[in-house]
Structure 1
């Protein structure tokens, strides 16, 4: 998937004379509702023999609107990887600044989609709304399709348990850390993505080397020990592997079982263990993953960690030996 960080670079980089169709949105988490829309967009691109383009934003629009934006489910880089995994051809990442905020829906469509990208069609979600005062609904824009010179289509809602899948439902599942519900809404286990940074080497000294992850300001599970699957993405994240392919018995190269620890490592730091119900605090908590059946250097590599289940809470042990025995038991349980 090609990425463009401003309209000018997209206009230069995208091929001319191609039937291009686009959609607009933040797409946090790229949940199953988003996936329906993106599937419709891809089908439309095939229909016109063209390209599918997602227009998205680096920051949540609420950050500019003066509201308190929700903590993102995933980072921008992770979001782009998930979009690539859905088969999108190109993504345009715009800054949601005051200029963009002030645009009417028709001005945004005209300046960005029609004149900037040469778009022939706009695919919208069943409840999509954008532009100043969020007036840009399907019904509003469809009335001016001739004036805009743009065909506009709307995707159906994805209904699960009688309710449409939405970013609000995903955030509610995140707030409760209901991993089964998250997998149901996302179509795959909840995952976090980060770069491996240098740690203090204590895991290696204990016989269980870990990859310490640097994470941006995203949703991270509370302190505890988790069973996970880990995909090594190299230095440049890519979305070549779909979740069904990763979950198949014959796993692709670079995919490992793992055990992840999130927390304050109280036995090693002589601090207090996180209390039950604590939330992840990047100032004091670390995120580290032990990859089973892996040997090598992961520094600087990007990992996507699929969280399968919480195995146990964080605990302060009476000795390093007791901690090591517990880690060994955790790993054996993951293997079992």
Structure 2
């Protein structure tokens, strides 16, 4: 038994949801529906922003890239989840698991950076309205997005190298829907302190650093809103930030719960539920949040639908 426990792992077996096989088909159909809504919603947002000139602004430029990232972010994990449900388990090679972990971390990091950039955009729009067109230029937006992708790449690279230089031994079963950090750490053996410190440091660098930008931006926004004399003016100004604030709360709330907490005593089932939420539900909700709470997007959608009707 001791020799078996020291056998190095070369592939991983995903076994999530296999304890209740009767739920396989309903969950498969549910996640497939969520995935299709995610694709249609985010693609629709990208098309609307591209077609309507009123949406050719820095905020919607960043939002279009957030939609692109959400499509990629969801596509890295949901098809794998569907395969696990359909086959009642799935086998991933070591390389494929590492690639999935890298892409998942890459697009997740970009989401964090884009949400922080959108908060900064709202800060400039509310607190520095006269300087907005000179600060948030098209060139600046391109640099912001390029910087988010570069930072996301290096964050994902360091986290992936650190995670997959760990020694995995014993059982290769992952009671999870994809190759994420919490279940991988449960398979490690030997001294993992250095790698875990690097992984945690980069998690702290990405999540709290972006949160600091968001919180400071909204602190100045709230101060500026409180200085507006009329109630209607305050409500109108805050409404421009409400959609973004809702998306930020959902995304960072689940990430903090998943990665920046004490994992001792936490169940795989609890981790699995949270991971399903932030990889499938949030990318689906983002276009709905920005369309239902945004007057400009709703008007662009009405115009687009009326053009389809009369064409």
**In which range does the TM-score fall when normalised by the shorter chain?**
under 0.3
Q: More strand by proportion, 1 or 2?
A: 1
Q: More helix by proportion, 1 or 2?
A: 2
Higher RCO, 1 vs 2 (CA within 8 Å, ≥6 residues apart): 2
What is the TM-score with the length of structure 2 in the denominator? 0.21
